[in-house]
Amino acid sequence: MVSIQPNVSNLKPPVIWMPKSIEKVIELKHQFGSNASFVSGATLLQLQWQNGHILPHHLLSLENIPTLKEMKMDVEKKHVSIGSMVTLAQCRFEPLFKKSLPILFEAVKTIAAPAVRNRATIGGNIMGGVGDLIPLLITLNAKLVISENRTIKTIELYEWVQRKEEFK
């Protein structure tokens, strides 16, 4: 016999918002504050929920924001741009990475199971604060484009890791 004692405070499902622009998702985050969390692949959120963590009241899905799914390379500047919604599986099979960032290409092969890599995103891997890619991305001098006080700015990943609690 299985006995389940639900967490009563967690029975109400969160409201899921699916904005279509970065500006709108930033506006919603400011509106709901700590009662909202960004969601990309939701693999970390699922684990947290299964471990008894209470879900936030509002989930701000990034799935409908096309610019967050882009991967670009500026050959002259030797610069690669990876949107936060790019999945680990996309990195694994993207010829751009195999040629330009072979170390990233190889690293994503070893992270999680294939089913998780199909859903898990670069942004989620970083924002969880304990992602497997963080040390590698720091050594590659990765920068994040973030919103801070409704201002879009670029910050070194290393600096973000030091200050990540400020950005929640």
How far are the Cα atoms of 29, 71, 94 from residue 91, in angstroms, in the given order? 28, 9, 5
The alpha carbon of residue 63 and the mean position of all alpha carbons in its chain are separated, in whole angstroms, by 11
Q: Which residue has the higher pLDDT, 1 or 165?
A: 165
Task: Tell me what pLDDT residue 168 has.
Answer: 60
Task: For the chain, give percent helix, strand, coil, nearest 5.
Answer: 45, 20, 35
Contact 60, 29 (CB under 8 A): yes
CATH number, domain with residue 48: 3.30.43.10
Residues 121 and 49 in one domain: no
Task: Tell me what pLDDT residue 1 has.
Answer: 44
Residues 138 and 82 in one domain: yes
- Count of beta carbons in the 10 Å neighbourhood of residue 137: 21
The H or E element containing residue 148 is strand 143-148
Task: Tell me what pLDDT residue 149 has.
Answer: 76
Residues 77 and 151 in one domain: yes
User: Over the stretch 9-32, which tens digit does the pLDDT of each residue have?
Assistant: 446 788 999 999 999 999 999 999
Residue 21 lies in a domain: yes
Contact 105, 98 (CB under 8 A): yes
Residues 22 and 71 in one domain: no
Task: Tell me what pLDDT residue 102 has.
Answer: 87
User: Over the stretch 33-91, which tens digit does the pLDDT of each residue have?
Assistant: 989 988 887 777 777 777 777 888 999 999 999 999 999 888 777 788 999 999 999 98
Find residue 87's DSSP bridge partners.
121
| 61-92: b (≥16 Cβ within 10 Å) or e | bbbebeebbeeebeeeeeebebbbbbbbbbbb
State which residues form the domain around 18.
Answer: 13-61
User: Over the stretch 94-147, which tens digit does the pLDDT of each residue have?
Assistant: 887 788 888 988 898 888 888 888 888 999 889 877 789 999 999 999 999 988
Contact 43, 117 (CB under 8 A): no
- Residue 14 contacts by C-beta under 8 Å, 6 or more apart in sequence? 55, 56, 57, 58, 59
- Count of beta carbons in the 10 Å neighbourhood of residue 126: 21
Q: Which residue has the higher pLDDT, 68 or 93?
A: 68
Q: Which token pair is 122?
A: 């670069």
Residues 152 and 82 in one domain: yes
Looking at the structure of the chain, the number of domains it has is 2
Task: Tell me what pLDDT residue 65 has.
Answer: 96
